[in-house]
Amino acid sequence: MIAGAAGVAAAALICLDPGHGTPPATGQQVEPIGPGSKVMKIKDGGGAAGEAAVALAIAKRTRALLLARGYRVAMTRTGPRTQLGNGNGNIARARFCNRRHAALMVRIHADGSTNRSQHGVSTLVPAWHRGWTDDIYRPSLAAGRAIQTAVVSATGAADRGVVKRSDLTGFNWANVPAVLVETGYLSNPTEARRLKTAAYQQRIAAGLVGGVSAFAALPTKRNR
Ligand SMILES: [Zn+2]
């Protein structure tokens, strides 16, 4: 962190959003995928088996590392269930981070596939959409690239790249840069075993923090 001309800058706030954990009855409700949209999407299908717990464990480790580096951290949930109000869905997750003027929203998930051999890490970023993501498109992409590189390097996992997504409610309602990291495949037996260990979760967390730091160090003109 570098002090600005006006004095010591406030430490950047990173908003961590561990995926899933929505109370089941709420998760089945729908909400518009973007402001003013008629396209409705389920709030939370629950994710892959075991995903909510893995995402939370990684988020807590990431929080500890970020705090140690001097960042401020907010989390959309710190226990098994979200309690956000505001409909308690993905709009609420985005608004939680918007309200806090987060420097970055980091959504933490794990993947699932019917193809059990599929494995590796990918980072999702908002596709460009006028009025929804035009303001956060560039910094989100920059953050996504930095985080994908850092997590792949920290874990040695297969690099599945950065993927632009237009259909994620939590992106389309975000007014702060946002990324979603798919930290590995719980449907792949080898990767699932790793994802459930403290050591591998810690490596992912270290990668996330490395990516956040690299993003925070980018010149403002390039990332905003
Ligand atoms: Zn998920």
pLDDT at 121: 98
Please say if the pLDDT value at position 100 is more than 90: yes
pLDDT at 206: 98
69 C-alpha to ligand 1 centroid (Å): 27
109 C-alpha to ligand 1 centroid (Å): 4
C-alpha dihedral, 207 to 75 to 187 to 127, nearest 10°: -80
Give the CA count within 13 Å in the CB-facing half-sphere of 136.
28
Residue among 102, 121, 100 nearest 110 (CA): 121
**Per-residue pLDDT reduced to its tens digit, 21-60:** 999 999 999 999 999 999 999 999 999 999 999 999 999 9
The residue type of 38 is K
pLDDT at 223: 56
Distances, alpha carbon 109 to alpha carbons 34, 50, 143, 219, 222, in Å:
21, 11, 16, 28, 27
**Per-residue pLDDT reduced to its tens digit, 178-214:** 999 999 999 999 999 999 999 999 999 999 999 999 9
Please say if the pLDDT value at position 1 is more than 70: no
pLDDT band per the 50, 70, 90 thresholds, residue 219: confident
110 C-alpha to ligand 1 centroid (Å): 6
100 C-alpha to ligand 1 centroid (Å): 23
171 C-alpha to ligand 1 centroid (Å): 14
pLDDT at 221: 55
Please say if the pLDDT value at position 215 is more than 80: yes
**Per-residue pLDDT reduced to its tens digit, 132-144:** 999 999 999 999 9
Burial 178-215 (b: 16+ CB within 10 A, else e): bbbbbbbbbbbeebbebbeeeebbbbbbbbbbbbbbbb
6 C-alpha to ligand 1 centroid (Å): 41
10 C-alpha to ligand 1 centroid (Å): 32
Mean pLDDT, the chain, rounded, equals: 94
pLDDT at 224: 52
pLDDT at 218: 85
Comparing 77 with 10, which gets the higher pLDDT? 77
Please say if the pLDDT value at position 9 is more than 60: no
136 C-alpha to ligand 1 centroid (Å): 22
> What pTM did the predictor assign?
0.94
Please say if the pLDDT value at position 91 is more than 50: yes
